[in-house]
A and B are shown apart, each in its own frame.
Chain A
């Protein structure tokens, strides 16, 4: 999992609550990504950021928000608008957007 940390490892949320997942990297990478993993579906891109103070929606951005105020950090907020948030969330980074992506250990979010 290299120099990418995600916290917490497990997160439980009540319906109607917003929660924020942390992703930090010490690899000096410019680009960072958030993916959602559901069983049998592979990984789907939620948001990505090519550089500080810039980010773009991925394929499934509805109900999620992000910020990129520092190069090292790319937090993901799962809002109450996300209809089915229970999933495994993975953060990744790459030196530049077109380079190999490396992944963090993941956060498992469960909605109660």
Chain B
């Protein structure tokens, strides 16, 4: 079975400060990892994914994520947060040869001006 944990329901940061959203995962085989963002009453927007290769993955809107196999983590980061980054963020995982995505419960990010 595969699963994702997002240990923080909410993250609050000041604009201009670094933003980190935490994610840990569990899969039997090789993990494919994803981050999505959701604005109120909207669908999920794809931010980035890790398939293989470099552990540091760069994505849309200045976001990046670091894959750490030993800690089974895939934390999302942004060096300087914007008020417009305030949204709900989801981490998801699937095994490399599977279609099924498992999502975390989501982390609400609030960036204050």
B and A form one assembly: yes
Which residues of A are at the interface with B, using a C-beta cutoff of 8 A? 1, 4, 6, 31, 40-45, 48, 50, 58, 88, 90, 92, 94, 97-98, 100-106, 108
Check if B105 is an interface residue, CB within 8 A of chain A.
yes
A104 contact set on B, CB distance < 8 A: 43
Size class of the B contact interface (CB-based, 8 Å): 20 to 34
Which residues of B are at the interface with A, using a C-beta cutoff of 8 A? 4, 9, 34, 36, 41-46, 49, 90, 96-101, 103-106
A50 contact set on B, CB distance < 8 A: 99
16 cross-chain CB contacts under 8 A: A4-B43, A40-B106, A41-B105, A42-B103, A43-B103, A45-B101, A48-B100, A90-B43, A90-B44, A92-B44, A101-B46, A103-B36, A103-B44, A103-B45, A104-B43, A105-B42
The smallest beta-carbon distance between A58 and chain B, in angstroms, is 8
Taken together as a complex, chains A and B put the C-alpha atoms of A3 and B8 apart, in Å, by 32
